[in-house]
Structure 1
């Protein structure tokens, strides 16, 4: 197949280049940017020297539509809303890594993202591309709304529990932490070295735009679930997300029961790894990979469940998930181009 990456100069775009370069079914791909047309991608990313010598091209929808079978939208929010409809009309499949198409209700998007929503007919075509939840829908999709990074770690961490165990409706608390690459490549004071180094800070308190995305997905597991408590923190590291989740079951459970539940739920999902008793994942253990690692325990003293879920925000939280969806959409092995071991240390 042939692909195009729009927004190739961002971190998500760079990861897509790395993954598609080694993907045996992607014959070729083109790189597009609204701001750096004509500039070699190696000028932005010297590590790509002699790997791909492409120059960035402008975003010409008609030309891209003629040459590409699938378009990856690795753009900031608000861009996909404007140009994805034309690709769909031209019969090109789209995998959108931004948040523009994740909600069926346009009012939710406009409230949390402070931007104009895509048209209802576009939103209706979009399939939420968390593969482990929606694999059958992804198979037949032509438009994928790739999940956010925090939602990926959190939903995968909670979904089997909410699907099978009754919990106190308002008891879900999510303490999430991310590396700085999650903020994107654009320079800003808040993510500069002096602000981030040797620092640990909370941000977007009670107002992170991923809150409704998580709630919508989790309510498909348990429609009695109340509002979640979700807050995010910036950690002085480059990659990784850890979502530490707390909730209170309505009836007594055991740690063995919980672990068996998770292992059975994800037994056919190669990119979700459930840790053994007493073992909890660290972000470094999924670094550079498409894995989501989950540890779970039950505190008999307090009666609360604790779940720890980790991903690489640029892989399973962005580009890796997008390629996983590409594979499922085209009926090829789901792990194609994604089976490299995590980078450690």
Structure 2
């Protein structure tokens, strides 16, 4: 059994971790921390967990985190890097759902997250937790920086066209790497459980708006990941939007084809690249995936389109931002780190309607 602790168990990603880990056959939950809610039974805050999670929230200072095999951080940025040295010294592995171990450039981290990075030596060894790209490295890692929700959808959507093997087979780049566009929409749970005006019912309901148009902190993470996939620089325009639903991400990706790319069968390319991937479903040609088709599951669904008479490739990607975009991907990564079947505890079907 894997002894697991969760730091920051009161937010949406925290409760999603609890939902998934409570059903995992190889996990023993050791501790769930919250300074503010110390002593409160978890099931009192989240009645959906009654009968499945009998722990109470504990203060991080007294929680038996050093006795765990793995600790998840479902916390604000900056918390994981403050506690990582002590936990690693105790032999505990770490999966951070925040941004502390995502961006390899500490100056870039400081620019977007407005704090200095306190342990760049640990950042240097951290592995970016996107299994479809870094599966082998994840298996050997002590520290995982889990991708953000938007970056997961965008990177998986463009992975096949930037893969060096596909580029070599076509005799050159398939798409123009400097003009990529990611037009992405997310439900309000992506903003977290904290009280903010823009997520109030009267503000978010019956409304649809863009934000972060001139710059969003997921943009450098996406560019870093796509550049690592391609082996050369990639630039993009990333525009997120808030839509009046609770959970889900829909990414519409646009890329201009090169002469080499114009000759490629992209449906076949995507089907072959993701063949055998347990959580990526390449849909039949002409499909338009819906966010409800992945709700509460770890599945990503992708559809590829080439509009007639256009030199554009359009890729549609849907995921649940709290599952494959956060906690579910964390459990998938945990399974790899501990040599378990990758889909263990993650076979839940999407919820409809």
Fold in common (TM above 0.5):
yes
Secondary structure of the residue aligned to 1:221 is helix
CA displacement, residues 141-193 of structure 1 (integer Å, 9 cap, x when unaligned): 11111110000000000011112241223220110000000000001101000
Q: Partners in 2 of 1:33 and 1:92 — Cα distance? A: 20
CA shift in 2, pair 1:32/1:62, >3 Å:
closer
TM-score between both structures, scaled by the size of structure 1:
0.96
Comparing 311-320 with 41-50, greater Cα deviation is found at 41-50
**1:83 and 2:58 equivalent?**
no
Q: Partners in 2 of 1:62 and 1:23 — Cα distance? A: 22
Q: Partners in 1 of 2:352 and 2:116 — Cα distance? A: 42
TM-score between both structures, scaled by the size of structure 2:
0.94
Q: Partners in 2 of 1:10 and 1:17 — Cα distance? A: 11
Q: Partners in 2 of 1:55 and 1:171 — Cα distance? A: 50
Which residue number corresponds to residue 131 of structure 1? 131
Which residue number corresponds to residue 237 of structure 1? 245
Which residue number corresponds to residue 312 of structure 1? 320
Which residue number corresponds to residue 279 of structure 1? 287
Which residue number corresponds to residue 65 of structure 2? 64
Which residue number corresponds to residue 141 of structure 1? 141
Q: Partners in 1 of 2:274 and 2:218 — Cα distance? A: 24
Which residue of the other structure, out of 255, 266, 271, is the alignment partner of 2:274?
266
Secondary structure of the residue aligned to 2:182 is strand
Comparing 43-52 with 296-305, greater Cα deviation is found at 43-52
Q: Partners in 1 of 2:232 and 2:140 — Cα distance? A: 30
Comparing 329-338 with 296-305, greater Cα deviation is found at 296-305
Q: Partners in 1 of 2:256 and 2:233 — Cα distance? A: 12
Contact 1:254 1:298 in 2 (8 A): no
Q: Partners in 1 of 2:35 and 2:346 — Cα distance? A: 28
Report the aligned-residue RMSD. Answer: 1.5
How many residue pairs get matched?
344
Secondary structure of the residue aligned to 2:31 is strand
Which residue number corresponds to residue 170 of structure 2? none
**1:31 and 2:32 equivalent?**
yes
Q: Partners in 2 of 1:333 and 1:93 — Cα distance? A: 18
Q: Partners in 1 of 2:315 and 2:189 — Cα distance? A: 24
Q: Partners in 2 of 1:280 and 1:86 — Cα distance? A: 47
Shift of 1:223: 4.2
CA displacement, residues 64-90 of structure 1 (integer Å, 9 cap, x when unaligned): 202x11000000111112112211111
Secondary structure of the residue aligned to 1:273 is strand
**1:19 and 2:20 equivalent?**
yes
Which residue number corresponds to residue 162 of structure 2? 162
Shift of 1:36: 1.2
Which residue number corresponds to residue 297 of structure 1? 305
Shift of 1:118: 3.3
Which residue number corresponds to residue 211 of structure 1? 219
Which residue number corresponds to residue 52 of structure 1? 53
Shift of 1:49: 2.1
CA displacement, residues 57-112 of structure 1 (integer Å, 9 cap, x when unaligned): 1113783202x110000001111121122111111001110011112211111111
Consecutive unaligned residues of structure 2, counting only runs of 5 or more, are: 168-172
Within a 5 Å distance, the mapping from 1:148-227 to structure 2 comes to 148-163=148-163, 164-165=166-167, 166=173, 167-227=175-235
Secondary structure of the residue aligned to 1:186 is coil
